[in-house]
Amino acid sequence: MSGGSGLHGYVKEIIMKKSLLALAVLLAAGVATATSSNAAVTTGVGVTTTTQSNAASSGVGTALSSQYATSNASATGAAAATGGSSGPVSFGAAAATGTAKTSGTISSLAATTGNGAATGSAAATGAAGSFANAAYSAGSVGGGASGGATSLTNNAVTTSAGPGGGTAYFGSTVGTTSGYTASAVSLTNSMGANAGSYTNANSVGNATGSNSAVGNAGWISNGGLTSGAAGSLANAY
């Protein structure tokens, strides 16, 4: 009996040790965590200007062609993300923002007297783009924010004045500003879970100018073309 009791106790002790070992392995596996975050930004701009002047006169006369063009483009972008997890607490946040702006200014003058002839043209173009995104993943939470904006401007005019005298003038500035903002945030703990996101995007164009024509003179314009677009997206869980 005593030998049987000893064997029974020995077997029971081995089973308990193996059970404790298995429990320890399970507990060790339960504390593993993983987090990741990333952010990326792309921006680009381009501008061109062109002017051309021609003037001629024969006999008695004068001719003047004066042209001016300037173009501007800019783009900004920023993105950031973070995340972490420890025990029952997991959190993360991401944000993206950017702008794209273009403008073109032109001034064109053609003037003559007598037998003079003048013609000229001015053009200003610009392009800008901004794109940004960020994302996070931490424990049981995740999310991301992204956005993009573009802006294009093409402002062009031609003025002419012929024999007999005349003056034509055209001047204008056009442009577009586009922008975006997006953000996401997540938090979970023993008290519960919370997540939120925000987005905003806009594109605004503007134009100013003046023109006149007297005598044998006139102007032709493309109307000052300018446009833009913007969008943003965010999600969190």
pLDDT tens digit sequence for 189-199: 999 999 999 99
Report d(CA 46, CA 54) in Å as an integer.
28
- For residues 147, 140, 33, 97, the Cα torsion angle rounded to the nearest 10 degrees is 10
- What pLDDT shows up at residue 185? 98
Q: How far lies 203's CA from each of 150, 209, 222, 223, in Å? A: 9, 21, 21, 19
- pLDDT recorded at residue 27: 38
Give the tens place of pLDDT for each residue, 69-86.
999 999 999 999 999 999
Distances (CA, A) of 22 to 13, 19, 25, 33: 14, 5, 5, 20
Residues pairing with 223 in the sheet: none
CA-CA distance, 187 to 90, in Å (whole number)?
6
Q: What is the pLDDT of residue 160?
A: 98
The stretches in the chain having pLDDT less than 50 are: 1-2, 4, 7-8, 10-11, 14-30
Provide the pLDDT for residue 18.
44
DSSP 9: H
Question: What pLDDT, on the 0 to 100 scale, is given for residue 20?
Answer: 41
Indicate the residue type of 16.
M
How far separated are the first and last CA of the chain, in Å rounded? 63
* pTM of full prediction above 0.75: yes
Q: What is the DSSP string of 135-149?
A: EEEETTEEEEEEEEE
